[in-house]
């Protein structure tokens, strides 16, 4: 009896980790299945962000360590990000304290909190703070620290020490990438550290990621997929990833268009 995909998957990943590249013909022989079956397996693993298909096989996915400056990122996938923010804000209940992380995805959460009562918003993102100052009527706590100009966030020991003194109901964290192997990642080492601290200090960790982040690994690890209480994305989320998260019992929320 031939192995299932889930049984073949760790074998393929093991070969890939050891060799850096796998060939359809050798995998088919090793696993005693057809070349077409292996090609389908590689297609699925490519969608999961595990590998990249090449002629005759596949190679390990290279992580992406280059992040665009905040102002350049802000214009990308604006419609999807706005929908995600609206869905995120709808989860906030009266009287709650929330932490909002850095990046362009969570920027407009504050805009959609209108009508909520007695909300405390905690952030280390300067753009989120400035947006909240203009459109949000609740309590705002801006976490200081060393300022990173390109991504417009504060980080470092001072930021982490302040967060250790606080507790929130929900943390809304933007993902640079989501991978079945590497979990949830960020481009920035310092930003990832603050995201982890926010997740630690909140009852629920809600990950915000538009459809372009799935199957992608960036520089710094934030947390595993299963550490997320929920992942909010847009309607273009790949079907493969809807199945992956369902298998891991990670709640996925598909935001409606705004």
Residue 136 sits in a domain whose CATH number is: 3.40.50.1360
Between CA 189 and CA 180 the distance in angstroms is 20
For the chain, the first-to-last Cα distance in angstroms comes to: 49
**What's the helix, strand, coil split of the chain in %, to 5?**
40, 25, 35
Report which of residues 75 and 91 the model is more confident about.
91
CA–CA distance, 105 with 177 (Å, rounded to integer): 12
Please indicate, yes or no, whether residues 56 and 74 belong to a single structural domain of this protein: no
Q: What is the pLDDT of residue 63?
A: 63
Whether 1 has a pLDDT exceeding 60, the answer reads no
Share of the chain above pLDDT 90, in %: 70
Question: Are residue 206 and residue 147 in the same domain, yes or no?
Answer: yes
Is 107 in the same domain as 25?
Answer: no
130 and 181, same domain (yes or no):
yes
Do both 205 and 120 map to the same domain? yes
Q: What is the pTM of this model?
A: 0.80
pLDDT in tens, 125-151: 999 999 999 999 999 999 999 999 989
Domain termination site, one of 21, 36, 60: 60
Report helix angle 5-19 to 24-31, nearest 10.
Answer: 130
Tell me what pLDDT residue 64 has.
61
Residue 10 has pLDDT above 70, yes or no: yes
Q: Does 237 lie in the same domain as 148?
A: yes
Q: What's the pLDDT score for residue 50?
A: 78
Choose one of 37, 60, 83: the last residue of a domain.
Answer: 60
Segment 47-64, tens digit of pLDDT: 877 788 899 999 877 666
Indicate the pLDDT class of residue 7, thresholds 50, 70 and 90: confident
Specify the number of domains making up the chain.
2
Q: Which residue has the higher pLDDT, 13 or 117?
A: 117
| Domain identity same for 21 and 99 | no
Q: Is the pLDDT of residue 198 over 70?
A: yes
Contact 233, 211 (CB under 8 A): yes
Minimum mean pLDDT among 158-162, 165-169, 211-215: which range? 211-215
Does residue 225 share a domain with residue 104?
A: yes
- Is 244 among the domain residues? yes
pLDDT of residue 77: 87
Does the pLDDT of residue 33 top 70, yes or no?
yes
User: Do residues 164 and 40 share a domain?
Assistant: no
pLDDT of residue 217: 87
Reported confidence tier of residue 215, pLDDT bands at 50, 70, 90: confident
Residue 207, in any domain of the structure: yes
Q: How far apart are CA 114 and CA 103, in angstroms?
A: 21
Three-state SS for 33-77 is CCHHHHHHHHHHHHHCCCEEEECCEEEECCCECCCCCHHHHCCCC
Report if residue 65 sits inside a domain: no
- Average per-residue pLDDT for the chain: 92
CA-based nearest residue to 174, from 89, 240, 84: 84
Give CA separation, 95 vs 88, 116, 138, 202, in Å: 16, 8, 10, 15
Widest distance between CA atoms in the chain: 64
The domain that holds 13 is classified in CATH as 1.10.10
Q: What are phi and psi of 230, to 5 degrees?
A: -160, 150
Do 95 and 19 lie in one domain? The reply is no
Q: Given pLDDT bands bounded at 50, 70 and 90, which one contains residue 225? A: very high
Instruction: Say whether both 50 and 147 belong to one domain.
Output: no
245 neighbors 207 (Cβ within 8 angstroms): no
Indicate whether 255 pLDDT > 90: yes
Q: Is residue 194 part of a domain?
A: yes
Say what the pLDDT of residue 69 is: 80
- Can you give the pLDDT at residue 240? 87
Q: Give the domain range for residue 76.
A: 70-254
Q: Percent of the chain beyond pLDDT 70?
A: 97
Give the mean model confidence (pLDDT) for residues 33-53. Answer: 88
Average pLDDT estimate for 170-189: 93
**Same-domain check for residues 98 and 199:** yes
Has residue 17 got a pLDDT over 90? no
């Amino acid at each position: 009896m031939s192995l299932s995909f889930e049984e073949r998957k760790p074998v393929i990943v093991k070969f890939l980790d050891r060799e850096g590249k796998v060939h359809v013909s050798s995998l088919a022989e090793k696993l005693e299945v057809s070349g077409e079956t292996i090609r389908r397996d590689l297609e699925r693993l490519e969608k999961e962000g595990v590998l990249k298909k090449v002629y005759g096989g596949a190679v390990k996915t290279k992580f992406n360590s280059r992040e665009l400056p905040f102002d350049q990122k802000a214009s990308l996938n604006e419609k999807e990000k706005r929908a995600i923010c609206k869905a995120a804000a709808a989860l906030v209940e009266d009287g709650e304290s929330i932490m909002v992380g850095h990046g362009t995805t969570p920027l407009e959460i504050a805009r959609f909190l209108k009508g909520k009562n007695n909300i405390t918003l905690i952030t280390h993102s300067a753009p989120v703070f400035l947006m909240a100052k203009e459109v949000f009527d609740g309590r705002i706590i801006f976490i200081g620290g060393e300022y990173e100009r390109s991504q417009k966030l504060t980080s470092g020991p001072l930021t982490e020490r302040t967060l250790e003194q606080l507790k929130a109901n929900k943390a809304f964290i933007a993902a640079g990438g989501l991978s079945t192997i590497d979990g949830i990642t960020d481009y920035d080492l310092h930003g990832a550290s603050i995201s982890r601290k926010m997740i630690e200090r909140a009852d629920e960790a809600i990950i915000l990621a538009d459809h372009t982040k799935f199957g992608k690994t960036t520089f710094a690890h934030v947390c595993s997929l299963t550490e997320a209480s929920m992942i909010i994305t847009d309607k273009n989320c790949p079907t493969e990833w809807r199945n992956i998260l369902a298998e891991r019992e990670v709640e996925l929320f598909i935001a409606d268009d705004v």
